[in-house]
C-alpha cells in the first residue's frame, strides 16, 4: 500500500500560516480531500463560514476548476489576516474579516462549507436559502454515530438530525476517519 499523495502546495502554505499564528483548530486532511473533490464539481461561487487560518479554504481552492470563486468569512481579524496572506495573489479567493452574515447577500452558493458549531447558526433554516438548487452544503467536525436519533455528548444531536431529515436536502453522513464524520447535503 502506498502513502497518500503529498499535500497540495496551497494546503502546505495554509498549514505553515496556521503554525506561525499558533492556530491549531483546522479541518482534517481527510475532510480537506473531500472538500477538494466536491469543489472540483462546482462552478460559480463557493463559500466558507469560519475561515480560521485558511486550511479549509486551501483545500477548497486545491479542487477548484475553471473560474469558480471562493468567498470566506472569519470573525477573528487576526486569523482572517493570516488566511488572507495565503491567497494574496489569488483572484479566485476572497477572505473577509467579518461575521459570516456578511455573505448573506452574496449567494446563492454552489458549495457552502460550515463548521458544525452552534445549531442555531448553521441549522437548515438559517442556511437553506444560501445554497443554489443542486448546491452542496458540507458540515464537518462530527463524531460518527451508529444510532438514531443521533446522539452526541449524551444528548440528541439536533443539528445532525435536522440536516439528515430536512426535505429541502438529500443528505448523508460520511465517515472521513474512524473518529470523524461530515455531513454532505445537496439542495433539491
pLDDT, tens digit (0-9, with 9 covering 90-100), for 77-109: 999 999 999 999 999 999 999 988 888 889 899
pLDDT at 2: 40
Backbone angles phi, psi at 182, to 5 degrees: -135, 155
**pLDDT at residue 22 greater than cutoff 70:** yes
Spatial separation of the C-alpha atoms in residues 173 and 74, rounded to whole Å = 26
**pLDDT > 90: what percent of the chain?**
70
- Is the domain spanning 27-187 CATH 3.40.50.150? The answer is yes
Spatial separation of the C-alpha atoms in residues 140 and 14, rounded to whole Å = 18
Q: What is the pTM of this model?
A: 0.91
What confidence category does residue 136 fall into, taking pLDDT thresholds of 50, 70 and 90?
very high
Which range, of 47-51, 114-118, 138-142, 145-149, averages the lowest pLDDT? Answer: 114-118
pLDDT at 1: 39
**pLDDT at residue 43 greater than cutoff 90:** yes
Average pLDDT over residues 107-132: 83
pLDDT at 167: 97
**pLDDT at residue 37 greater than cutoff 60:** yes
What is the four-CA torsion angle of 74, 77, 81, 84, rounded to 10 degrees?
20
pLDDT at 3: 40
What is the four-CA torsion angle of 72, 73, 74, 78, rounded to 10 degrees?
80
pLDDT at 20: 86
Amino acid at each position: 500500500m502506498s502513502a497518500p499523495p503529498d499535500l497540495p502546495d496551497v494546503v502546505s502554505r495554509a498549514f505553515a500560516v496556521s503554525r506561525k499564528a499558533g492556530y491549531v483548530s483546522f479541518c482534517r486532511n481527510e475532510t480537506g480531500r473531500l472538500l477538494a473533490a466536491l469543489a472540483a464539481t462546482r462552478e460559480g461561487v463557493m463559500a466558507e463560514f469560519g475561515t480560521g487560518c485558511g486550511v479549509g479554504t486551501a483545500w477548497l481552492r486545491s479542487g477548484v476548476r475553471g473560474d469558480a470563486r471562493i468567498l470566506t468569512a472569519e470573525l477573528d481579524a487576526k486569523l482572517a489576516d493570516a488566511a488572507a496572506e495565503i491567497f494574496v495573489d489569488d483572484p479566485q479567493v476572497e477572505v473577509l474579516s467579518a461575521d459570516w452574515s456578511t455573505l448573506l447577500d452574496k449567494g446563492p452558493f454552489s458549495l457552502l462549507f460550515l463548521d458544525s458549531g452552534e445549531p442555531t447558526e448553521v441549522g437548515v433554516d438559517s442556511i437553506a436559502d444560501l445554497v443554489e438548487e443542486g448546491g452542496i452544503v458540507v458540515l464537518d467536525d462530527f463524531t460518527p454515530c451508529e444510532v438514531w436519533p443521533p446522539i452526541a455528548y449524551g444528548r440528541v444531536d439536533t443539528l445532525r438530525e435536522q440536516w439528515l431529515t430536512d426535505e429541502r436536502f438529500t443528505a448523508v453522513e460520511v465517515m472521513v476517519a474512524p473518529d470523524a464524520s461530515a455531513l454532505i447535503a445537496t439542495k433539491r
